[in-house]
Amino acid sequence: MVDKHGLLTQPISDVLRKLTTPMVFGMVAILLFNLVDTFFISLLGTDALAAVSFTFPVTFAVNCITMGIGVGLSASIGRLLGQGNSKHAAQLTTHGLILAVILILIACSIGFFTIDPLFRLLGAEDKLLPLIHEYMSIWYLTIPLLVIPMSSNSAIRATGDTTTPAKIMMLAGLINGVLDPLLIFGYGPFPELGIQGAAIASGISWFGALCASFYVLTRKVKLLAPPKPSEIKQDWHQILKIGSPAALSNALNPISGAILMMMLASQGTVAVASYGAAQRVESLMLLVIMALTSSLSPFVAQNLGAKQPERVKEAIFLAMKFSVLFQLFLYILIVPLSIPLSHLFSQDDAVQHGLWMYLICVPFSYGFQGIVMVLVSSLNAMQKPLHSFSWSFMRLFVFTLPTAWIGSHFYGMEGLFVGIAIGNVMGGISAFWYLRSGTIFEDATLKGRGKAES
């Protein structure tokens, strides 16, 4: 295999920096995509914004399927490319795309015919159901267009190319940003479609991303091959073995978020509003670490395939060190900005105080949270998905939620925020000592002698 992107030979710090930087821009594009949608829909009124807000848990749940397939693809393809088996990598990519489309079509078919009962179950008022129906009926029809570029981008990143997927997502964001106001409000020759226009704009942007990703897969990285019915079952099993726990890991975050919201609700609306505003800041502060962990996956997978465990070990500890130091640097920056930021996100004095408390307490622990994120990403790349899921579960349900509950029980909202920070620190230290023990580095899988865990 030609080491085009230097994952197997170039200095580790240089490789991770080159992989991570484009990922940051790609994630910013995704954030802006969602913000643009929310902004223009909010101009339609409170009901429209509330209707779309109700769709978030459902759309995230469906997208968990694609994210899981993407993790399974990236880990499997990276290992094959590290072994120099590009032919099987191309075949596995094709089979993975077919699997992703089939699973999403099944989920969307069920969802399309259960819109009203499902959203009534989620608590949507009857007056919002027509708006939800307008949006989700289009979303269910067009989301298969997003499945292929999302899965394709995972395959492309497995080659060590993180720039091209970032460009594809920026292209989708640009198309969506241009079409949103045209289709929502009916400017020029375009019809005024309201909330349905937002869903159509998203669908068209996803189609643009699909065309771009297909072009890259077929012409640039040559990671598509005719499907082989005799081998498709085996490849699906390999992808799902890693992807299923990864999808469940992704689903843990909104579940734990909902539990935290329930704890906060008992403290009053001020606590809920403070936490909601804090989540916007948190998504930005963790952006670089999220990009780093995504970039680490192809590096680990390829070097495992090439039987270079020492590079893997060095990269993981380097990523953890960077996580702690970088997030500490951000925390030092955010402390003097905490009061201006709290005023920016709310005009209510009580909410401002709550947000200030969060920014003083929780971001200190993000570096430790990053250690667990590095470990989870690395375990997936090592094809140890059950271990990865276990650490995701422990971070949230063994460390963070119990300490948050204890803090909330004794000291209210402030105690809950301190509890979240303590849980993150405990999780990070535990993950670090697990890595220091060397267990995963002594595993036969890492040395290239064994198979992925079943």
Are 41 and 100 found together in one domain?
A: yes
The answer to whether residue 453 sits within a structural domain is: no
pLDDT on residue 448: 45
Are 44 and 163 found together in one domain?
A: yes
Write out residues in the chain with pLDDT < 50, as ranges. 1, 444-454
Are 273 and 224 found together in one domain?
A: no
The answer to whether residue 407 sits within a structural domain is: yes
The answer to whether residue 433 sits within a structural domain is: yes
Return d(Cα 96, Cα 110) in angstroms, integer.
22
Last residue of a domain, one of 179, 211, 228: 228
Q: pLDDT digits over 68-95, tens only? A: 898 999 889 988 988 888 899 999 999 9
Residues of the domain holding 380:
257-448
| Number of Cβ atoms within 10 Å of the Cβ of 83 | 17
The answer to whether residue 9 sits within a structural domain is: no
Q: Are 55 and 136 in contact (CB under 8 A)?
A: yes
250's tokens: 């992704």
Return d(Cα 185, Cα 194) in angstroms, integer.
6
Are 173 and 43 found together in one domain?
A: yes
Are 306 and 187 found together in one domain?
A: no
pLDDT on residue 387: 92
pLDDT on residue 271: 79
pLDDT on residue 3: 61
The answer to whether residue 190 sits within a structural domain is: yes
Which residue, among 295, 287, 289, has the nearest Cα to 14 in the 3D structure?
295
Are 276 and 135 found together in one domain?
A: no
Q: How many domains are contained in the chain?
A: 2
pLDDT on residue 392: 94
The answer to whether residue 251 sits within a structural domain is: no
Which residue, among 397, 391, 372, has the nearest Cα to 289 in the 3D structure?
372
Q: Are 309 and 441 in contact (CB under 8 A)?
A: yes
Are 337 and 378 found together in one domain?
A: yes
Are 288 and 397 found together in one domain?
A: yes
Are 213 and 332 found together in one domain?
A: no
The answer to whether residue 324 sits within a structural domain is: yes
Are 202 and 69 found together in one domain?
A: yes
